[in-house]
Amino acid sequence: MRVSVVLCTHTLDRYDDFSEAARSVLDQTYEDVELVLVSDGNEAVYDRFQEDFDDQGDIVLHCNEENVGLLESRNNGAAVATGDVVAFVDDDAIADERWIQELVDVYEQRDVRAVGGRMTPAWVAGKPAFLPEEFYWLVGVTQRGFGPAGGDEDTPGEVRNTFGSNISFDRETFLDLGGFEDDIGGRKGDANLQGGETELAARLDTEYGHRVYYNPDAKVAHKIFDYRTDPVWLLDRAFWQGYSKRGMQVLVPGSAGEESAFLGQLLTEFLPDRVVGLLRSPSLPRASQLIMLVVFTATVGLGYLYGIYRWG
């Protein structure tokens, strides 16, 4: 089974991080891997591709004619790929050396059309003591409580979708679905709306009757830069994530089931657990995480309410 990994970037600002992401794909234990590098309309970036990767193995280079954004860049990468499976990783991530092998194992052993894995944190600026694991999704990391129904983040099984930096599709199915909806926010003229993976996974479920199979052993590390650990940045992200959840609920009916289940688990299991833990073993980190868990939950809720106001 041949796997094409699409990796996109649009600037030289963090080219070293992009290169590290590319190298992690080239260093996979699985052999039949094609790396597709997409420059999003930046000729200088494409020139660096040619300098650094043109003779590095099984690599396809592509440059968009103009800057079109991540989702359309991914679609363009999938279009020029030749693999049976197309996988996606971000330019600020590092794939575990067995990432592709773990994805392929699922495709070979199960009747699936999409497979994703676990996002782990790579704390570039150090782990913030106040950030609870239940809200790691704010920084693009698999959170406590993620997983198939009745399971958790260590349990393999079907989920709605995984993070866009660790998701793959049967390429023929991906192309038949038309790839990612590249104007997911623009359909309402709203740049703050997020959820390309959610929308595509919903179409996969509707048209093929398949969900994304989650393999927690297929790991990709996400670099958490210093600005992503700033409380103000996190609160802003929490608000717009709540807003996006309402927007996706309107655009993709029935897509909010997993968020509702997570909220219930948060309020009935995780919050009480944290209160008990703090009472039994008081500490500043425990107290700050409990407080921020409540604050983040409220902020997401405010964003969701604003989404109701905007979307109905």
Give the rounded distance of the alpha carbon of 247 from its chain centre.
18
Amino acid at 77: G
| Predicted local confidence at residue 207, as pLDDT | 93
| Predicted local confidence at residue 86, as pLDDT | 98
Count of Cβ atoms closer than 10 Å to residue 312 Cβ: 7
**For the purposes of burial, counting CB atoms within 10 Å of the CB of 56, is it exposed (0-12), middle (13-18) or buried (19 or more)?**
exposed
Bridge-based pairing of strands 167-170 and 85-89 is antiparallel
- Asked if residue 26 belongs to a domain, the reply is no
Q: Are 293 and 134 in contact (CB under 8 A)?
A: yes
Residues 6 or more apart whose Cβ sits within 8 Å of residue 248: 193, 195, 198, 199, 255, 256
Residues 6 or more apart whose Cβ sits within 8 Å of residue 96: 24, 218, 219, 220, 221
CA atoms within 13 A on the CB side of 266: 22
- Asked if residue 280 belongs to a domain, the reply is yes
Reading the chain (312 residues) residue by residue, the pLDDT tens digits are 999 999 999 999 989 999 999 999 999 999 999 999 999 999 999 999 999 987 777 999 999 999 998 999 999 999 999 999 999 999 999 999 999 999 999 999 999 999 999 999 999 989 999 999 999 999 999 999 999 987 889 999 999 999 999 999 999 999 999 999 876 654 444 555 667 888 899 899 999 999 999 999 999 999 999 999 999 999 999 999 888 888 777 777 766 667 777 888 888 899 999 999 999 999 999 999 999 999 999 999 999 899 888 877
- Asked if residue 68 belongs to a domain, the reply is no
- Asked if residue 64 belongs to a domain, the reply is no
Token pair for 296:
């983040």
Q: What is d(CA 64, CA 72) in angstroms, rounded to the nearest whole number?
A: 9
**Based on C-alpha coordinates, what's the Rg of the chain?**
19
Q: What is d(CA 188, CA 193) in angstroms, rounded to the nearest whole number?
A: 9
| Predicted local confidence at residue 92, as pLDDT | 95
Q: Are 160 and 180 in contact (CB under 8 A)?
A: no
| Predicted local confidence at residue 189, as pLDDT | 44
Give the rounded distance of the alpha carbon of 156 from its chain centre.
17
* pTM (two decimals): 0.92
| Predicted local confidence at residue 261, as pLDDT | 79
- Asked if residue 265 belongs to a domain, the reply is yes
Q: Are 170 and 113 in contact (CB under 8 A)?
A: yes
DSSP tag of 174: H
Residue range of the domain that includes 186: 92-311
DSSP tag of 110: S
Token pair for 50:
């040619």
- Asked if residue 259 belongs to a domain, the reply is yes
Q: Are 99 and 162 in contact (CB under 8 A)?
A: no
Measured over the CA atoms of residue 138, residue 143, residue 148 and residue 153, the dihedral's sign is: positive
Beta bridge partners of 36: 6, 60
- Asked if residue 287 belongs to a domain, the reply is yes
Q: Which of 224, 217, 213, 6 has its CA nearest to residue 99?
A: 217
Q: Which of 297, 196, 164, 302 has its CA nearest to residue 246?
A: 302
Beta bridge partners of 159: 212
* Cα–Cα distance list, 230 to 129, 215, 251 (Å): 12, 30, 31
Q: Specify the number of domains making up the chain.
A: 1
- Asked if residue 49 belongs to a domain, the reply is no
- 3-state SS assignment for residue 29: coil
Amino acid at 88: F
